[in-house]
Amino acid sequence: MNRIRKWAAGAVAATLVASGAIATAEAAENPYQRGPEPTVEVLEAEAGPYPVETVDAPGDGGFAKGTVYYPADTSEGTFGALAVSPGFLSAQTAIAWLGPRLASHGFVVVTIDTKTPQDSPDQRADQLLAALDWVVGADSPVADRVDPARLGVLGHSMGGGASLVAAQKRPELLATVPLTPWNMTKDWSRQRVPTLIVGGENDAIAGVAEHAEPFYESHGGEKAYLEMRGEDHFVVNSPTPTVGKYAVSWLKRWVDSDTRYEQFLCPGPQADAVISEYRDTCD
């Protein structure tokens, strides 16, 4: 019996050592990998593994003002940075939940107020890019926490349309997540930045048939389309486990090159009580 117990204990220890070795090997292979092994529970929770701190962003002329959310832990090195724009007539409070949610998974996030609430998608795109330039610049209090080569953009409504424009203007961005996006431009065939589009099935402001779906269909690069069953234009303006899960997974996969998150994206989810449709170009 003692031999069996010793053998079992040895087997468990060997498994743990092997798991640690695999994790170490994966981290060594990908120097941008951050955080523990992802799980559905953590991705759908209100916060990820990193404690988050905040600091004000003055705007510096490129955007009105903003808030920076960033991981308090610096032991793993620098993080990718994301800028997030609200929609037409909205302030950053409308998308504020995304700041701490994304930062808690290992990103430096700037949520912005636009110069005027009526700013067009093109104007918002310039402001998203200005926010990224500021957060990696000499005046940023968190510049030393950011890897300037790993940047992405998100936005809601006109801010979502702006994120597509920003990615087209700056193709070196690594990811974009337009949330119930609105834009008069329907052809994004020149777009190559990996893009996750989130639509609301019952959106009466940026109807998916006129906006999110043609944006997805015309996009020329890696892409996915997540449609929320029965939801309207504002489904992304409050903490949403499903939106949080797939937005984080997409950004970790493309901004951090972290293939551990592919399991949540490829194959994608089946339609259910929450998701009415999911499409992707995963291999």
Q: What is the DSSP string of 111-150?
A: EEE-SSTT--HHHHHHHHHHHHHHHTSTT-TTGGGEEEEE
Write down the pTM of the prediction.
Answer: 0.90
| 2 vs 270: CA distance, rounded Å | 48
- Examine the residue annotation and report whether 233 is marked as an active-site residue of this protein: yes
Q: Exactly one of 104, 157, 249, 276 is catalytic; name it.
A: 157
pLDDT < 50: residue spans in the chain: 1-23
Annotated active-site residue in 203, 219, 258, 276:
203
Q: What is the pLDDT of residues 176-210, one digit of tens each?
A: 999 999 999 999 999 999 999 999 999 999 999 99
**Spatial CB neighbours of 155, under 8 Å, sequence gap ≥ 6:** 84, 85, 86, 87, 95, 124, 128, 161, 162, 163, 178, 179, 181
Active site residue 187: no
Greatest Cα pair distance, the chain, in angstroms, is 75
In the block, which residue shows the tokens 């916060």? Answer: 47
| Marked catalytic residue, from 219, 233, 256, 276 | 233
CB 53 within 8 A of CB 131: no
- pLDDT of 61: 83
203 is annotated as an active-site residue: yes
Please say whether the beta carbons of 181 and 163 come within 8 A.
Answer: yes
The pLDDT assigned to 191 comes to 95
Q: What are the tokens at 93?
A: 């409070």
Q: Residue 123's pLDDT is what?
A: 98
- Mark residue 197 as left, alpha or beta (left: phi above 0; alpha: psi -120 to 50; beta: remaining): beta
Q: Which residue has the tokens 């892409």?
A: 223
159 CB-near residues (< 8 Å, 6+ apart): 84, 85, 86, 87, 90, 95, 114, 121, 124, 128, 179, 181
Return the DSSP state at 49. S
pLDDT given for residue 20 in this prediction: 46
Question: Tell me, what's the pLDDT at 36?
Answer: 97
